[in-house]
Amino acid sequence: MPDIRLVHDLRPPARPPIRHLLAISDLSRDDVERMLGTAHALARSLDRDVKKLPTLRGRTVVNLFYESSTRTLASFELAAKRLSADTMSLRSAGSSVDKGESLKDTALTIAAYDPDVIVVRHPHIGAPKVVASVTGAHVVNAGDGKHQHPTQALLDLYTMREALGRLEGLHVAIVGDVLHSRVARSLLEALALVGAQTMLVGPPTLIPRGIDAMGCSVSADIGAIANADVVYVLRMQQERMLAGAAYVPSLREYAAKWGITPQRVRPGQVVMHPGPMNRGVEIDPRVADSEAALVTAQVRSGLVVRMAVLYDLLTSGPVEVATVAEVA
């Protein structure tokens, strides 16, 4: 386990160094501000010809993915590489997980190599916590079941701030299948942390009972998004329409009632989507390809925000912009 030394600690002294990023609730507002600031500084390095920074040379980042993923895994891998960390990705298919190994044993096996960070994606809630409890590594939750996906929320905050210049007082409408969405849960908490307002819009069968206790308003009427600065569209998963789990009568009806069409987007609004998109279902292709859509900006933010998260966990301090620029 690396010895953590604080070089420039902006946090109150009582707060222990962050060891893991399992949920947005692990973070204070200062933590979020610091990470977004680091991401902003790191973004400059992406504009260079040589994009690699030596910051995490000699560190090891292991990606442990029990669920299929394109953008999150690619983004974490590249983030670690851009910071010169050694990285290794393990997927459940073709590994000892196929042979029935328990999560605890897989985690212990990886921990035997003393990685500095383990990034975990798992279909079941609480899996990153199990990994954190049996290893000495910093654990980053890259999505656990329907629970949390904290780096997605951070990159969304980053994208909103880059596009709109602020987070405080921002009005965000999250549209669609909130019930099955870890993205929505993390984002809801993160927006509350930075002082933005959130409204959930979607079919009542896909809005979990009791979610308003998290400090958001709820509406079944798509017209309610008119007041929002940001329309955040959630993926409508095909499997939710299977027999016995029919949360909405048909995708056609969903698209008609809650799909984000050009007519429903007000000028000045921005539209976001965590991907992968179902064009023609939750989002009209004309909106997805419009100026208002920040979808590729989100992917780009994902890289710098994940670099910032790895940097923050392993150095526990704010980035020095000058240093980053020079060493590059």
Binding site for other proteins (CB under 8 A): 102-104, 122-127, 129-130, 144-148, 181-182, 185, 208-211, 213-214
Instruction: Give 180: exposed, middle or buried? Use CB within 10 Å, 0-12, 13-18, 19+.
Output: buried
Considering the complex, what minimum distance in angstroms separates the CB of residue 180 from other proteins? Answer: 8
Q: Report helix angle 295-315 to 71-82, nearest 10.
A: 50
Q: Which residues of 53-75 are buried (b: 16+ CB within 10 A; e: fewer)?
A: bebbeebbbbbbbbbebeebbeb
Contact status, residue 292 vs residue 283, Cβ threshold 8 Å: no
Distance (Å, whole) CA 116 – CA 85: 10
Quote the CA–CA distance of 150 and 189 in Å, as a whole number. 9
Residues 100 and 102: their CA atoms lie apart, in Å, by 6
Provide the CA 216 distance to its chain's centre, in angstroms. 19
Looking at this protein, which amino acid is placed at residue 240? R
The CA distance from 302 to 240, in Å, is 27
Residue 96 backbone zone (phi > 0: left; psi -120 to 50: alpha; other: beta): alpha
